[in-house]
Chains A and B, each alone.
Chain A
Amino acid sequence: MNAIRKAFGIVWILLALAAGYFCIFQFGLPKISSGSQDDLVFGIIILSLLTPIIVGGLLIFGYYALQGEYSLEK
C-alpha cells in the first residue's frame, strides 16, 4: 500500500500541471480578456485564488507522496 501511495505522487503532480493549464489557459485568461464584466470577475478569482491553491497544493502533496511522507510508518 505504501508503494501505491508513493507511485500516485506522480499522478498528483501531473494532475496539478493539467489543472494549472486548464485553469489558466482554458478558463482564466480567456475570461479576463473577453470584455464581459461577469467573465472578468470569474477570471480574476480563478487565476488569483483557485489556481495557486490547486496547483501549488497538489504539487507539494504529490512531491510529499513521492517522498514517502504518507507511508504508514511516519
Chain B
Amino acid sequence: MSQQYSKAETRQQNKTIWSVITASSLGTLIEWYDFYIFGSLAVVLADKFFPSANPTAAFLSTLATFAAGFVVRPFGALFFGRLGDIIGRKYTFLVTLLIMGGATFLIGCIPSYETIGFLAPVLVLLLRLLQGLALGGEYGGAATYVAEYAQPNRRGYWTSWIQTTATIGLFVSLIVILITKKTLSAEAFDSWGWRVPFWISILMVGVSYIIRKNMKESPLFAKAKEEGKTSKNPLKESFGNRFNFKFVLLALFGAAMGQGVVWYTGQFYAMSFLQKVMNINSAQVDSLMAIALLMGTPLFVLFGALSDRYGRKIIMMMGMAIAIVSYRPIYSKMFATTDLAQKTLTENGMTQKVTTKADPKHDGDQLTTYSSISTYTDGTELKKDSVVHIQADPAAKPIAAKVTKSITVNDSDKWTLIFLVFIQVVFVTMVYGPIAAFLVEMFPIRIRYTSMSLPYHIGNGVFGGLLPFVATYFVSSAQKAGNPEWYLQGLWYPIIIAAICLVIGVLYINGKDKSVKD
C-alpha cells in the first residue's frame, strides 16, 4: 500500500532530496571526471609513460591499464560496499572521494618515462588501480543513498539524476581537455599541458568533500543501525547466502552485463571508432562527442521517470533490444562518411611539402616529414604525414617511417555523425536511467550497498570496461585477415553480450518494483 503525503510534506521531501542529490551527484560526477580524463588522454599517456619503440604496444598497454582501472572496480565494490553496510553510506563515500581525488592529482605529477624510466608506468598503474578501487565504492553508495531518501513512486526519477553524472563527467572531461588544448600550443600541451586536467581535479574534490561532510546519514540505514538490524558480515550474507546470491547473479546477467556493454559502446567505443578506425582528428571527435552527449543527457531523467510509470524492466530491455539490431547499420553509416574512395578530390586538391629537421632525441639524426593535404569536393580534408628517420650511422638498424592520417569531416557529415552517436546515447539512457532504482530495489538494506555494487561494477567494469580492448582487437584481426567489413567486427562483442543479457532479463526478472524498506 503506498503512503499518501500532504502537499507541504511533499514540498519538504523534494527540498530534502534535492540537497541529497546535489551532494551525492557532485561527488560522483567528479569521480567519473577523474576516471575519464585518464581514458580520454590514453594516447598522450601511452606516449609519456610507456616505451615509445612500439606505439601499438604502448597504446594497448595503456588500454590494459585502463582495463586495470575497471577490473579492480569489483574489488572496490566489495571493500567499500562492506564498509558502507557496516558503518554507513555517508562516511564510506567521503573516503572514496578523497582516494579518487588524491590518486588523480598524483597521476598529473608523475615524471615521464624518459625522466624516471620504468618507475613511471609502475606509478601510473598503481594510481590507476586506486582510482578503480575508489570508483568501485562510490556508485553503490551514491545510488543507495539517494534511493533511500526518495519517495517510492519517484525513485526512478530521483536516482536517474545520479545516472547523469557518468555522462556529464565524461562531457566535462572532454570540455576541460578541449579548453586546455585550445589555450595552449600543441607543443605546450604535449610537454606539460596534458597534466592540467589531472591537477584541476583536486580543486573540485575539495569543494565536494565540504558539501558531503555536512550531509546526514541515509534515514533508512540510520534507523536500521539504531534498531540493531545492520549486518555484521555483509559479504557472507550477500554471497554466501543462496537466496541473496541468486539475485546478485540475476542482477549481473539479466541487467548490468548488457547495460555495461551498451553504455561503453555508445560512449567510449563510439569515440575510439571515430578516432582510431575512421581517423577523424581528435579535436573534432571531442567536440562532436560532447554535442551528442549534451543532447542525450536529459534522457537519463526521462527514462528514469518513465520507469516509475511503466516499470524498470520494460525500459531497460527495450533499450538493449533496439541497440542489438541497430549497431551494425549505425556504424556502417558512420564509417561511410569518411570513405575517401567514394569522394572526389578538388582540382589541385592535393598540396605537398617536405620539411627536414634535426632529431632532438638522437644526435646527428634527421627527421624528414612528407606532408600532404588533400581536399575533397564535399569539404572533407585529409592530412597525411610520413616521418622518415634518417640515421647518422649508416650501419644502424633502419627505423620504419611513421605515418599518421587525420581527417576533418565537413559540416554535413559532422552533424550526421553527431546524430548517429546521439542515437547510441539514447540506448545508453534507456538501459542506464532506471538501473540504479532497479538494483537498489533488489536487495535488503542490511546488504544493499555490497550486493548492488558488485554486479554493477562487474557488468560495467569487467564486461563494459574491457569492450574497447576486445573490440579493438577484433577489428585489428579482421583487418589483417582482409575482411571487407573489418570495421564492424568489434561490434560482435557488445551485440552478443547484450543479446544474452536480454534473454535472461526478459525471462527471469519479474518486473515488479519492490520497496526499499525491509
Interface residues of A (CB under 8 A from B): 4-5, 8, 12, 15, 37-38, 41-42, 45, 49-50, 53, 57-58, 60-61, 64-65, 69-70, 72
Smallest CB-CB A-B distances: 3 pairs: A38-B60, A41-B64, A61-B249
CB-CB under 8 A for A58 and B57, given A49-B71, A69-B246: no
Contacting residues, chain B, for A41 (C-beta < 8 A): 60-61, 64
Contacting residues, chain B, for A38 (C-beta < 8 A): 56-57, 60-61, 473
CB nearest to A19 among chain B residues: B500
CB distance from A30 to the nearest CB of B (A): 11
Contact partner, A45, options B67, B252, B500, Cβ 8 Å: B67
Instruction: Check if A69 sits within 8 Å of B242, measured CB to CB.
Output: yes
Instruction: Check if A57 sits within 8 Å of B466, measured CB to CB.
Output: no
A49 to B252: give the CA distance in the assembly, Å: 15
A43 to B500: give the CA distance in the assembly, Å: 23
Determine whether B376 belongs to the interface, using a CB cutoff of 8 Å to chain A.
no
Contacting residues, chain B, for A49 (C-beta < 8 A): 71, 462
CB distance from B75 to the nearest CB of A (A): 11
Instruction: Check if A57 sits within 8 Å of B252, measured CB to CB.
Output: yes
CB distance from A29 to the nearest CB of B (A): 15
Q: A42-B469, A60-B245, A69-B246 are in contact. List 16 more A-B contacts (CB 8 A).
A: A4-B507, A5-B507, A8-B503, A8-B507, A37-B57, A38-B57, A45-B466, A50-B462, A53-B458, A61-B249, A61-B250, A61-B504, A64-B246, A65-B508, A70-B250, A70-B508
Contacting residues, chain B, for A37 (C-beta < 8 A): 54, 57, 60-61
CB distance from A15 to the nearest CB of B (A): 7
CB nearest to B56 among chain A residues: A38
A65 to B250: give the CA distance in the assembly, Å: 10
A53 to B246: give the CA distance in the assembly, Å: 14
Instruction: Check if A57 sits within 8 Å of B61, measured CB to CB.
Output: no
Interface size, B (range): 20 to 34
CB distance from B453 to the nearest CB of A (A): 15
Instruction: Check if A42 sits within 8 Å of B249, measured CB to CB.
Output: no
A72 to B64: give the CA distance in the assembly, Å: 41
CB nearest to B249 among chain A residues: A61
Contacting residues, chain A, for B36 (C-beta < 8 A): none
Question: Contact flags (1/0) for B226-254 with A, using CB distance below 8 Å?
Answer: 00000000000000001001100110110
Contacting residues, chain B, for A8 (C-beta < 8 A): 503, 507
Name the prevailing secondary structure of the A interface residues. helix
Determine whether B355 belongs to the interface, using a CB cutoff of 8 Å to chain A.
no
A30 to B294: give the CA distance in the assembly, Å: 42
CB-CB under 8 A for A42 and B473, given A49-B71, A61-B249: yes
Question: Contact flags (1/0) for B386-413 with A, using CB distance below 8 Å?
Answer: 0000000000000000000000000000
CB distance from A14 to the nearest CB of B (A): 12
A61 to B246: give the CA distance in the assembly, Å: 7
Determine whether B348 belongs to the interface, using a CB cutoff of 8 Å to chain A.
no
Determine whether B510 belongs to the interface, using a CB cutoff of 8 Å to chain A.
yes
Instruction: Check if B246 sits within 8 Å of A45, measured CB to CB.
Output: no
8 sample A-B contacts, Cβ–Cβ < 8 Å, listed by A number: A15-B500, A45-B67, A45-B71, A50-B466, A53-B458, A61-B246, A69-B242, A70-B246
A4 to B466: give the CA distance in the assembly, Å: 32
CB distance from B315 to the nearest CB of A (A): 21
CB nearest to B496 among chain A residues: A19
CB distance from A28 to the nearest CB of B (A): 12
A54 to B487: give the CA distance in the assembly, Å: 26
Contacting residues, chain A, for B466 (C-beta < 8 A): 45, 50
Instruction: Check if A64 sits within 8 Å of B249, measured CB to CB.
Output: yes
Contacting residues, chain A, for B54 (C-beta < 8 A): 37
From 46 to 82 in chain B, residues with beta carbon under 8 angstroms from any chain A beta carbon are 54, 56-57, 60-61, 64, 67, 71
From 483 to 511 in chain B, residues with beta carbon under 8 angstroms from any chain A beta carbon are 500, 503-504, 507-508, 510
CB distance from B386 to the nearest CB of A (A): 24
Contacting residues, chain B, for A53 (C-beta < 8 A): 458, 462
Instruction: Check if B507 sits within 8 Å of A58, measured CB to CB.
Output: no
Contacting residues, chain B, for A58 (C-beta < 8 A): 253
Instruction: Check if A45 sits within 8 Å of B507, measured CB to CB.
Output: no
A15 to B500: give the CA distance in the assembly, Å: 10
CB nearest to A58 among chain B residues: B253
CB-CB under 8 A for A45 and B64, given A15-B500, A64-B246: yes
From 448 to 478 in chain B, residues with beta carbon under 8 angstroms from any chain A beta carbon are 458, 462, 466, 469-470, 473
Contacting residues, chain B, for A57 (C-beta < 8 A): 249, 252-253
CB nearest to B510 among chain A residues: A72
CB distance from B78 to the nearest CB of A (A): 13
CB nearest to A42 among chain B residues: B473
CB distance from B462 to the nearest CB of A (A): 6
Contacting residues, chain B, for A5 (C-beta < 8 A): 507-508
A15 to B497: give the CA distance in the assembly, Å: 12
